[in-house]
Amino acid sequence: MQFHSEVAPRTCVDIHTLEAVALAATRSAAVASYAWVGRYDQEAADAAATKAMREALAEAPGRGTVVIGEGEKDDAPMLFNGEIVGNGNGPDFDIAVDPLEGTSFCAKDLPGALATIAFGEPGTLWSPGPGFYMDKIVVPPQARDVIDLDDPPERTLVNVAKALGKKVSELRVVIMDKPRHKELITRVLQAGAAVQTPAGGDVGGSLAVLLPTLDVDLLLGVGGTPEGVMTAAAVGALGGGMLGRLAPQRAAEADAIRAAGMSLGRVYNCAELVSGDAFFVATGISGGSLLGRPRECAGMTTAESLLISRGEIRYITHTTFG
């Protein structure tokens, strides 16, 4: 697979080159924000991660467009929708980005903070415009054909359990611990499933569904659209199932979505959120079951990353000196 430019053929770039750029970007963001782990300063941590990622992306061979970023949603200083990155000497590509997924985890030194990014060919990544939040279901490949975002959670649990060859009581469900999910969590528990309720980090929760080493069966609830698009890149690469629908949390957001001519009722499947070749990368910041935190020893810094691309999951440890 190659990302092509409309100019001379010499500007075609092998996907491995862009994977290396993505890994460098998330590693840089992770190491920069790690200095702020446990310092209770979310803004400083986010700014450090964003600055480092932007500087790394500036070296990318080509012209990248931030199709979906965190700038508008979190009032972040950089990497906003429509921003251009790269050195221009190569193909066009699109990116979805969250330099610091789980800012509160980083600030409070809790496990789960990640630096994340997804790359895709131009036009591959869906842009939600002014929609910042999305209702989502994420499931493993075996259950991708049995989910419906309009189903009540009880029916979803029954259908997913059957597809996975389990009882509902054996399911483990990730739902973020937010006031908006109080009823959903109650209903899932009453149906008999177990619930994991992280304070945030729905990318990490979705990855837990997809990775065979982690004991999670599905993710439910409302999270960010940047996280949704990045999640879809990983889900699509691994053959999982995902559905999403814009879920504005404020009247102004809903009005902006309608003004942009977008539907609040449309359900998007994974192939619509990411419609072509794409890959996903994450690097650990505050540690946890998914990826460890950066480690410094004897003048060396080691970071742990995850690359999901073309049906493969690769764990990569990278050490820098100085």
- Average pLDDT across each block of 10 residues of the chain; the chain has 322 residues. List them in order: 44 73 96 96 95 94 87 58 88 92 94 95 90 96 97 98 98 96 98 94 92 93 92 95 97 96 95 94 96 90 95 92 70
Domain with CATH 3.30.540.10 in the chain: 2-123+278-321
**Nearest residue to 310 via CA among 228, 233, 226, 243:** 233
Q: What angle do CA 45, 48, 52 make, to 5 degrees?
A: 145
Residues of the chain with CATH 3.40.190.90: 133-273
Asked if residue 196 lies in contact with residue 217, where contact means CB atoms within 8 angstroms, the answer is no
Instruction: List phi, psi (to 5°) of 30.
Output: -65, -45
Q: Is 101 known to sit in a ligand binding site?
A: yes
**pLDDT score at 17:** 86
Q: Which of 38, 97, 112 is nearest to 233 (CA)?
A: 97
Question: What is residue 11's predicted lDDT score, i.e. its pLDDT?
Answer: 46
pLDDT at 313: 95
Instruction: State the pLDDT at residue 298.
Output: 80
Report residue 150 as tokens. Answer: 């309009």
pTM (whole model) above 0.75: yes
Q: What's the length of the chain?
A: 322
Helix ranges restricted to H, the chain: 15-34, 42-57, 103-108, 153-164, 182-191, 202-210, 225-238, 251-259, 270-273
pLDDT at 13: 52
Strands 241-246 and 278-284: unpaired
In angstroms, the first-to-last Cα distance of the chain is 35
Hey, what are 167's tokens?
A: 């009882």
**In this structure, what token pair is assigned to residue 131?**
């929609």
Q: What fold, for 133-273?
A: D-Maltodextrin-Binding Protein; domain 2 (3.40.190)
Sole residue written with tokens 């698009």: 229
At residue 102, the pLDDT reads 92
Residue 296 annotated in ligand binding: no
Q: Is 98 annotated as a binding residue?
A: yes
Closest listed residue to residue 307, CA positions, set 205, 240, 234? 234
Q: Which has the closest alpha carbon to 112: 213, 198, 239, 212? A: 198
pLDDT at residue number 70: 65
Q: What is the DSSP letter of 145?
A: T
Architecture in CATH for domain 2-123+278-321: 2-Layer Sandwich (3.30)
Q: Which residues contact 147 (CB under 8 A, 6 or more apart)?
A: 137, 139, 156, 159, 160, 241, 243
One-letter amino acid for residue 249 of the chain: Q
